[in-house]
């Protein structure tokens, strides 16, 4: 019997073809509605491989249901939606899509910073809503970006690439990371600081840290209160890194000047969410890596990883380095 592959979102047929030529492939019928948990578990029971997205919670229930499951290929660099411990225990390889999305996500992150600083979305809506009556000296005046101080929290590859973008704007760049990166400091002129110092000194704070038990809710009300009142906070990492209520209160109280958010604690965010009522918040639907080119490459990488594991080869981008295939009876 051919190995069975289940894909949790509808993908273009031409991309899935290499899988279909080798394996039995089944795909959820929607590209924008998540597969219900009970269906996912039923599919996991039959599957040798799962192709998942970050909105799928690949928890103990799913992984334990997958008696034949050998690989989960997740269409994201982040993998906080997956229970890695159970995966490794069950001999399931977890693969992600690092590197291929770095530039695209950095572009979006810097774009979000620019949109929030220069009030681009607010201004575009102003014109479309017919509110533009005349030119005026301070009409929708935002904040300069050039020559300001940028603080990057989470200096992974995307952080480094955002820093590279920022050098073109003559920014002073601070960073905070679990590990210090002397070669990046040399190359880009970025300065390592404590989290507290970064938070106090930066004009723009960009959060790019992965979601882990240590980073969950790291941006509290107290942290926002330490920022300058002119600071703009950007989150392109994971929503749960921020205490959203605290962010809302800080914005409302004028403790910070604005926010650009690509990610939220609960996605999709409800349109009635108080954060979305604030004119100084730019909100995007988690599109960091969403360019046609990059999403296509990410899909291909997931497919390559599935094919590698099912054909007994090394996957290109394995997350759980302690993974060993189970000898199944
Ligand atoms: C990722 O890959 O983790 C991003 O959040 C997707 O845009």
Q: Are residues 95 and 106 in the same domain?
A: no
pLDDT at 326: 87
Distance 253 CA to ligand 1 centre (A): 31
**Structure confidence by residue, pLDDT tens digits, 176-215:** 999 999 999 999 999 999 999 999 999 999 999 999 999 9
Give domain status of residue 329, yes or no.
Answer: no
Instruction: Tell me if the pTM is above 0.95.
Output: yes
Contact 310, 49 (CB under 8 A): yes
Q: Are residues 26 and 118 in the same domain?
A: no
Distance 80 CA to ligand 1 centre (A): 10
Which residue range(s) make up the domain with 86?
4-99+292-310
Domain of residue 164, CATH code:
3.40.50.720
pLDDT at 329: 62
Q: Could you give the strand order of the β-sheet that contains 191-192, starting from the edge strand earlier in sequence?
A: 191-192, 172-176, 149-153, 204-207, 232-235, 258-261, 281-283
Residues of the chain with pLDDT under 50: none
Q: Are residues 54 and 179 in the same domain?
A: no
**Structure confidence by residue, pLDDT tens digits, 69-112:** 999 999 999 999 999 999 999 999 999 999 999 999 999 999 99
Alpha-carbon distance values, 103 to 118, 127, 141, 160 (Å): 22, 31, 29, 10
Alpha helices in 178-243 (DSSP H): 182-188, 195-201, 221-226
Q: Is 82 in the pocket of ligand 1 (CB under 6 A)?
A: no
Q: Is 106 in the pocket of ligand 1 (CB under 6 A)?
A: no
Q: Is 101 in the pocket of ligand 1 (CB under 6 A)?
A: yes
Q: How many structural domains comprise the chain?
A: 2
261 bridge partner residues: 235, 283
Give domain status of residue 255, yes or no.
Answer: yes
Sign of CA dihedral 156, 158, 159, 164: positive
pLDDT over 90 for what percent of the chain?
Answer: 99
Give domain status of residue 106, yes or no.
Answer: yes
The atom number, within ligand 1, closest to the CA of 54 reads: 3
pLDDT at 327: 78
Token digits of residue 52? 């998942």
């Amino acid at each position: 019997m051919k190995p069975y592959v289940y894909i949790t979102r509808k993908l273009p047929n031409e991309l899935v073809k290499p899988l279909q030529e080798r394996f039995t492939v089944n795909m959820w019928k929607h590209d924008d509605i998540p597969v219900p948990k009970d269906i996912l578990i039923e599919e996991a029971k039959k599957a040798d491989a799962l192709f998942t997205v970050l909105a799928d919670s690949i928890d103990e229930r799913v992984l334990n249901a997958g008696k034949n499951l050998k690989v989960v290929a997740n269409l994201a660099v982040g993998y906080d939606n997956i229970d890695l411990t159970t995966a490794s225990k069950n001999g399931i390889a977890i693969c992600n899509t690092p590197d291929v999305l770095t530039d695209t996500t950095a572009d979006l992150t810097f774009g979000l910073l620019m949109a929030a600083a220069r009030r681009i979305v607010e201004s575009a809506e102003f014109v479309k809503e017919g509110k533009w009556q005349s030119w005026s000296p301070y009409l929708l005046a935002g904040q300069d970006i050039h020559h300001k101080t940028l603080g990057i929290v989470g200096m992974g590859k995307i952080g480094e690439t955002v820093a590279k973008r920022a050098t073109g704007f003559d920014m002073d760049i601070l960073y905070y990371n679990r590990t210090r990166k002397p070669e990046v400091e040399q190359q880009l002129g970025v300065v390592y600081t404590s989290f507290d110092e970064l938070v106090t000194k930066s004009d723009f704070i960009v959060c790019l840290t992965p979601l882990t038990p240590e980073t969950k809710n790291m941006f509290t009300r107290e942290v926002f209160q330490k920022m300058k009142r002119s600071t703009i906070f950007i989150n392109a990492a994971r929503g749960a890194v921020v205490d959203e209520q605290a962010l809302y209160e800080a914005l409302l109280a004028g403790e910070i000047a604005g926010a650009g958010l690509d990610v939220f604690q609960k996605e999709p965010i409800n349109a009635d969410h108080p954060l979305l009522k604030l004119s100084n918040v730019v909100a995007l639907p988690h599109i960091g890596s969403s360019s046609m080119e990059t999403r296509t490459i990410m899909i291909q990488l997931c497919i390559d990883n599935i094919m590698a594991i099912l054909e007994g080869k090394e996957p290109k981008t394995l997350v759980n380095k302690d993974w060993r295939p189970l000898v199944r009876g």
